[in-house]
Amino acid sequence: MTDTTWMSAADLARDYRRGTLSPVEVVEASLRRAERLQGPLNAFVLIDRPGALAAARASEARWRAGAPLSPLDGVPTSIKDTTAVAGWATRYGSLATDDAPASEDAPVSGRFRAAGMVLLGKTTTPEFGWKALTDSPISGTTRNPWNTARSPGGSSGGAAAATAAGISPIAHGNDGGGSIRIPAAQCGLVGLKPSFGRIPQHPADSPFADAISQGVLTRTVPDTALALSLTAGADARDFRSLPTTGRDWTVGIDGGVRGWRIGLSLDFGHVTADPEVRELVAGAARRFEALGAHVEDVGPLIAPLKESFEALWLGGFAARLRTIPTQMHSRLDPGYLAAAQKGLAVTLADYIRAYEAKAKLARDLAQFLERYDLLLAPVTPTPPPPVETLYNSEAFPRWTKGAPFTLPCNLTGQPAASMPAGLTRDGLPVGLQMIGPPHGDAHVLRAMRAYEGTLDWRWPQAALTNL
């Protein structure tokens, strides 16, 4: 039998079409791997074996009849546990949430199902997606398949661990401050945060709903583009969703970057990454010069984020905390509780000043990207941190270690992606961030694909072969 562990979604679909692979055998293999790796990685909060196999059998029948629902019919995937799937609870990594099953699918999970994709289960997240690590009171600690003593990043850490471990080629994630890009970087994956509203969200009841983009983590750029084609487009339940265009996002991604003018900011926002991260990102950026682009160091480019935007971050946590009964507070992640309690002191004036700064940041980056075709930066200041790291502690503050390089694009809504930049001397992945102009998703995908063609980054990576 074919080993499907490291196959891309596009390759699975090709073999389904030829009749040389069955969705049932692929999904069965994915389930076995998910169940076997649950102990060492803890990537899932729910694995739905009966539901996944039923969906795989239905997909197999469609392929045999020559009537697949989409190019990704029968491809296994998963949904992050911040997002509704009808019949499954949405716990947000928290013991303070309701365990009742959702009554309807969120747009992204509904579109996965409508495309015939097979939902293996739900992946882990830190409580309310609050941090760029993945551990929570409800599911414990998720570990990085490259080194299980390290975090896979967050908040889409379960999705990243599952994808990097060969459980599925595509996993849903969402990104409100770097939560797709950070785990993609720290697990050696491809992670696109599309433009805000490109993929609709519902319910949008998070205090950070105007910063969150839905998306996927994958191992290849074509798989990312295929998934975007299936999930992009308006939904009446999300008034902020962008219009439906019916665009095939795989078209045009091979156009290259020759003649592009590209900015490189190794100290984006006046944050200095670890020397090894800087070295790898600078080396990755030079690949664009070999592709015919001109790369120019543009300096820190934007002001430090903390002074302007801490009110949004802490105030959002406080808004959530006010909805949780006091008797449940002792069951919350202590780090989340401390940040939310600090946020209770945020005033309306503080919040409005932060929104004014948000508008200025969006204007400044949009104007920069009128002069440049792309902006490159690190994704994270450090390689994957140890799993016992305390987020937003003195040793790992959010504004200089957690998400300083990724948050700006959540505040502005523009597309940004993570691509592998290489491995540290300890064999840990580092990511290169690619930032495009407002609504420039096609632009970013084109840069991602050009860069991917320069990489010797094959799956499985050596560190993952013994999983």
| Residue 179: closest CA among 189, 168, 169 | 189
Whole-number average pLDDT of the chain:
97
How far from 142 is each of 37, 44, 124, 126, 416, CA to CA, in Å? 11, 9, 7, 9, 25
Host domain of residue 183: 9-464
CA torsion, points 271, 277, 283, 285, in degrees to nearest 10? -40
Cβ atoms of residues 107 and 143 within 8 Å: no
Residue range 108-156, pLDDT digits in tens = 999 999 999 999 999 999 999 999 999 999 999 999 999 999 999 999 9
| Residue 133 in domain | yes
Instruction: Please check whether residue 162 lies inside any domain of the structure.
Output: yes
CA 434 to chain centre: 14
> What are the tens digits of pLDDT across the range 405-456?
999 999 999 999 999 999 999 999 999 999 999 999 999 999 999 999 999 9
Q: Which class for 412: exposed (0-12), middle (13-18), buried (19 or more C-beta within 10 A)?
A: buried
pLDDT at 1: 63
Query: Which residues lie below 8 Å from residue 239, measured CB to CB, with a gap of 6+?
Result: none
Under DSSP, is residue 198 helix (H, G, I), strand (E, B) or coil?
coil
**Domain tally for the chain?**
1
112 part of a folded domain: yes
Residue 100 covered by a domain:
yes
Report CA dihedral (386, 91, 209, 204) to the nearest 10 degrees: 160
What pLDDT is recorded for position 206?
87
Question: What is the Cα–Cα distance from 145 to 428, expressed in whole angstroms?
Answer: 10
Instruction: Give DSSP secondary structure letters for 41-79.
Output: H--EEEE-HHHHHHHHHHHHHHHHTT--SSTTTT-EEEE
- The DSSP output letter for 170 is E
Q: What is the pLDDT of residues 213-253, one digit of tens each?
A: 999 999 999 999 999 999 999 999 999 999 999 999 999 99
The string of DSSP codes covering 400-449 is IIISTTTHHHHHH---EEEEEEEE-TTS-EEEEEEE--TT-HHHHHHHHH
| Inside any domain, residue 431 | yes
Q: Is residue 1 part of a domain?
A: no
The pLDDT score that the predictor gives to residue 173 is 98
Question: Any idea what the CATH number is for the domain that residue 68 is in?
Answer: 3.90.1300.10
Terminal Cα distance for the chain, rounded: 19
For 39-52, the pLDDT digits (tens) are: 999 999 999 999 99
Q: Which residues are annotated as catalytic?
A: 80, 155, 179
Least Cα distance to 114 among 22, 245, 235 occurs for 235
Report if residue 2 sits inside a domain. Answer: no
4 in any annotated domain: no
Q: Distance (Å, rounded) from C-alpha 248 to C-alpha 306? A: 38
Amino acid at the residue 146:
W
Q: Is the pLDDT of residue 205 over 90?
A: no
pLDDT at 283 over 80: yes
d(CA 138, CA 34): 19
Instruction: Give the integer Cα–Cα distance in Å for 440 and 457.
Output: 26
